Structure 1
């Protein structure tokens, strides 16, 4: 027996050194999928008798494909499959059989629009129950779009614009109502970083950034289990921002600086509670040293969909695609980026916001979740108290999404 073993050792060693053979069509998954470009985040859609790459739009744009035995059949065109010439043809044709090769969570098959690497994202999401102690990237937070533009805490624009309030309750009330994400616009004036739209000229009763951050810090010190995130649309210098944050008493006790995330991933809720570091501040301003004050450059840590669903009245566009052309919603790396989901119109109207906010969970699950291959971590809405957006967030917090 020993002689036989020694005799075959070279052959066995040679076999072990062979490269892994990519999966073929027979090993490709079966089911109904979105086919998403790894590089751009665009989806393959049937376009007439051919194909095109379109922004993800759920089941509204012929973007769902039934995959079986290497054939891609469009669910809106039964019996019609993608040919090797990238046209649509009868699924009975031999040239509709493709040979997908798997590379981790990516697949390589037909080349379209210069793309050859794709994600196959199930149309019906796979989920697991939310763990008792979730990581930050598994949680979802109700977020107030333009939280400062509420008409309660102070003015935020010249009088004629103050009529279009994004919120109608002050920051303290928002915190008490369960809002845990706050988007704030800051502009530079001789008085520092002021919260306002576009220009702070003629703003009545202007509010400084440090005032609202202090309100949030005070809330966190009184509520030791809560986590809050601030998103700054930032038009001030690094020095002004530093000076503004220095005015906030107790900020250093609660400010989370994302240390170790790139190596170890996002922390669990219990870890943030144990350290007390439960306030995250993101800025959309390019890197210029302001990060040394504890703020994080948002584009390094998150993905975000386009900011508007359309005008304040009329039909909305629920397609879900990246706000940043060079970073698709599907982007990933050493750690999973947090997903900031915008869900509002150009102009806030009560009737429209009520309808839109009642459909947050539907858009998140049917449109944005498969487009990003991750669950939204922040759901940003206007007039958050209308349409029960909080209930949608509670539902999103009941499960973990698996692409």
Structure 2
């Protein structure tokens, strides 16, 4: 089990992101990336504030069929999700049999060591320095163990510290190498990049038996919070790909996302779905971001 006494690493943040002193790393030029090669996949997103960008996301991101989880929410694991374009992750953390795991409800249904899951995220961010990722943890472990696990994966230096007045753009986070935004549903926070989730995000309800029940009503977090999460999945009674294909179809998903943006008076920043590979999530997010169709 990770100890609670491990030292906390400093993280950058605020309107002008900064980070702790560390060994120099390869520049964008060294890695073959030009400064204006794009941000989260497109140059038009670079100078938008984070709260003006929609991120495609997954619900119970660790729970996946490829790894043999029972009643999975996704087809593929974390690395494949990120490579496919997912930029928002919902992860559940547990202490099980003396160690830290990513699980959902019961670790007997499926489990991945937390260290392994975080290493996948770190590897992706190292390989793709112009991508910004949001993570919301449903954390059933201590703040100290969460922080220690993040630092052990060398993700602490990537944490963006959000201030109440933050106007930071994707470009600003990328240039400061603080490309990871993290919230904890427990409400725990450390002032160094681990935020209380419902101090930073607000969301919609998340328990729906069928699409007719979808709602944009305020749920958790104050409506003045910086970021807006739309929960868009059906559990009837378990997640499944055919139902996800129906509700992730553009006619349903785009209509609901736009309705929620209108009703709540703000852009959708994290659009979370089950079985992201079914339906039209990426096309919907492109349209919400006002980006042209790929050539």
TM-score interval, normalised by the smaller of the two chains = 0.7 to 0.9
Which blocks of at least 5 consecutive residues in structure 1 are unaligned? 1-129, 156-161
For the residues of structure 2 that align with 1:295 and 1:246, how far apart are their CA atoms?
11
Partner of 2:245: 354
For the residues of structure 2 that align with 1:363 and 1:315, how far apart are their CA atoms?
10
Partner of 1:227: 132
1:285 and 2:186 are equivalent in the alignment = yes
Of 270, 284, 289, which aligns to 1:392? 284
Provide, for residues 178-236 of structure 1, a one-character-per-residue CA deviation record: whole Å limited to 9, x for no partner.
00001011112243321112232x356x3122221221111111111100111101111
Are the structure 2 counterparts of residues 213 and 293 from structure 1 closer, same or farther at C-alpha, using a change threshold of 3 Å?
farther
1:179 and 2:179 are equivalent in the alignment = no
For the residues of structure 2 that align with 1:132 and 1:168, how far apart are their CA atoms?
30
Aligned residue-pair number: 244
Are the counterparts in 2 of residues 187 and 199 from structure 1 also a CA contact under 8 Å?
Answer: no
Shift of 1:170: 1.3
The structure with more radius of gyration: 1
Given the two structures, how large is their TM-score scaled by the length of structure 1? 0.57
Are the structure 2 counterparts of residues 190 and 349 from structure 1 closer, same or farther at C-alpha, using a change threshold of 3 Å?
closer
Shift of 1:252: 2.8
For the residues of structure 1 that align with 2:177 and 2:67, how far apart are their CA atoms?
27
1:217 and 2:217 are equivalent in the alignment = no
Shift of 1:299: 1.0
1:150-189 correspondence runs (5 A): 150-153=64-67, 155=69, 162=70, 164-189=71-96
For the residues of structure 1 that align with 2:45 and 2:79, how far apart are their CA atoms?
30
Of 326, 329, 345, which aligns to 2:234? 345
1:3-402 correspondence runs (5 A): 133-153=47-67, 155=69, 162=70, 164-200=71-107, 202-203=108-109, 206-248=111-153, 250-258=154-162, 261-263=163-165, 265-287=166-188, 290-291=189-190, 294-308=193-207, 310-311=208-209, 314-324=210-220, 327=221, 331-332=223-224, 337-346=226-235, 347-358=238-249, 359-366=252-259, 368-398=260-290
Are the structure 2 counterparts of residues 171 and 132 from structure 1 closer, same or farther at C-alpha, using a change threshold of 3 Å?
closer
Provide, for residues 350-390 of structure 1, a one-character-per-residue CA deviation record: whole Å limited to 9, x for no partner.
22111110121111112x11221101000000000111111
Shift of 1:165: 1.3
Are the counterparts in 1 of residues 161 and 192 from structure 2 also a CA contact under 8 Å?
Answer: no
More helix by share: 2
Where 2:134 maps in the other structure, the secondary structure is: strand
Are the counterparts in 2 of residues 166 and 382 from structure 1 also a CA contact under 8 Å?
Answer: yes
Are the structure 2 counterparts of residues 237 and 363 from structure 1 closer, same or farther at C-alpha, using a change threshold of 3 Å?
same
Which blocks of at least 5 consecutive residues in structure 2 are unaligned? 1-43
Calculate the aligned-residue CA RMSD, in Å.
2.0
Given the two structures, how large is their TM-score scaled by the length of structure 2? 0.77
For the residues of structure 2 that align with 1:184 and 1:396, how far apart are their CA atoms?
24
Provide, for residues 320-346 of structure 1, a one-character-per-residue CA deviation record: whole Å limited to 9, x for no partner.
11223xx55xx22xxx51001100012
Are the counterparts in 2 of residues 338 and 377 from structure 1 also a CA contact under 8 Å?
Answer: yes
Are the structure 2 counterparts of residues 256 and 315 from structure 1 closer, same or farther at C-alpha, using a change threshold of 3 Å?
closer
For the residues of structure 2 that align with 1:246 and 1:270, how far apart are their CA atoms?
24
Are the structure 2 counterparts of residues 143 and 344 from structure 1 closer, same or farther at C-alpha, using a change threshold of 3 Å?
same
More strand by share: 1
Shift of 1:154: 6.0
Where 2:106 maps in the other structure, the secondary structure is: coil
